[in-house]
Amino acid sequence: MFASFIRFAAVVLLTLNFVGCTVESKDIIAWGSTEEYDDFLWKKFVPDTLTHTMFFDFNNDAQKYGSAVSLGIFKINDNGKFVPVEASELEVFVNGSKQDLIQVATNTDSLNVGFVLGPKAAAKVHHWYFRAVNMGGMDRINDIEAADLKSDDSVLGEIVVVKKHIWNPVALILFWMLIILIALLLLWFVMGRDQLYPKFRGGSIVIEYGNFYKLVKIGGCKKMVCTRSSKEESALEQLFTGRVVYVKDSQGPWVSDVVFEPASRRRIRMRYKTSDFEADSNSLEKGEIYTLTSISDGTKIKLTIQ
């Protein structure tokens, strides 16, 4: 009787070179590692194909009298039994064509076998196994007799595939951008805003001229403006730079705006156009009374700093 046999090996395929060592029989084949992520916005997940080249060596009798050998991918279930790896876990491509089993004709020297892990494959290290599903009339494979290959625990080789679940790249970029933005906002509100836009710690200013009298509380605002025109700040401007208190009198002596800003804890800096106003001092101290005079009509404005 003719003795027909097949010997197969797997070699890692990288670019144009075969890198690694030939793995035969029941040795472990490190098939590779792949990453998956959830779809997010325009970035959709496209699974990787982990490709290796498997080499086969049929003897003369096998090539003359044998038929195709079928190899399947199996796993061990919770009961310790070998069961086929489901298509939802693993898709197998042979020379670019999707197949349920790896069909090896007797005139085959090598096959490019690709694994695409499906959505049902858990993110972990998978241990899968090559098993002969159809011997194709062979007496033995890798020096393992046909009768032994039909046993429940026979394998031709173990495959190790690693699957990792990672962040979607777009989601990861947006996440870190959000973290950086939050950090910058915290830095701005804790330190930057008060440095660039200091606020009045408290106090008030009493403004008097003619029949006009107004007590303005200035605590917590960045400045006070006496004006004839209506002015408003946006909510964002108030949030990021601070609040401005406007004292409006459309018939008042404010031919141009007069601005009061904090200079120190007890002092206030007053800014105005020297062509429109004259004052006792531009630096106002708490507990003192000052006079601001309109040059155009001579109106004297009494300022009491409290």
Please tell me the predicted confidence (pLDDT) of residue 128: 93
Whether 88 and 230 map to the same domain: the answer is no
The verdict on 171 and 211 lying in the same domain is no
HEC string of 159-207? EEEEEEECCCHHHHHHHHHHHHHHHHHHHHHHHHHHHHCCCCCCCEEEE
Same domain, 51 and 159: yes
CA distance 115 to 31: 9
184: Cβ contacts below 8 Å, ≥ 6 apart? none
Query: Do 12 and 161 lie in a common domain?
Result: yes
Same-domain check for residues 150 and 56 = yes
**pLDDT at position 6, please?**
52
Residue with tokens 């630096």: 283
> Which residue type does 200 have?
F
User: Do residues 15 and 138 share a domain?
Assistant: yes
Report pLDDT for 15. Answer: 25
The residue range of the domain holding 24 is 5-165
Main-chain dihedrals φ then ψ at residue 33, nearest 5 degrees? -130, 145
24 close to 9: Cβ distance less than 8 angstroms: yes
- Nearest partner of 8 among 71, 88, 84, judged by Cα: 71
Instruction: Give the pLDDT score at 7.
Output: 53
Task: Please tell me whether residues 23 and 40 are part of one structural domain.
Answer: yes
Nearest Cα to Cα of residue 135 among 6, 37, 243, 258: 6
Question: In terms of domains, do 108 and 50 share one?
Answer: yes
**Tell me, what DSSP letter sits at residue 262?**
E
Does residue 141 sit in the same domain as residue 245?
A: no
Look up the CATH number of the domain holding residue 208. Answer: 2.60.200
- Decide which of 153, 178, 196 is a domain's last residue: 196
**pLDDT computed for residue 66 by the predictor:** 67
Q: What is the pLDDT along the chain (306 residues), one digit of tens a residue?
A: 344 545 555 433 322 222 222 234 446 888 999 999 999 999 999 999 999 988 887 877 777 776 778 889 999 998 989 999 999 999 999 999 999 999 888 888 889 999 999 999 999 999 999 888 887 777 777 777 776 677 777 888 889 999 999 999 999 999 999 999 999 999 999 888 888 889 998 899 999 998 999 999 999 899 999 999 888 888 888 888 889 999 999 888 999 999 999 998 889 999 999 999 999 899 999 989 999 999 988 999 999 998
Half-sphere exposure of 102 (CA within 13 A, CB side): 27
Is the domain of 48 the same as that of 133?
A: yes
For the chain, give the number of residues: 306
Total domains, the chain: 3
- Note whether 126 and 13 are same-domain residues: yes
Q: 179 and 246 share a domain? A: no
Map tokens 């404010």 to a residue.
254
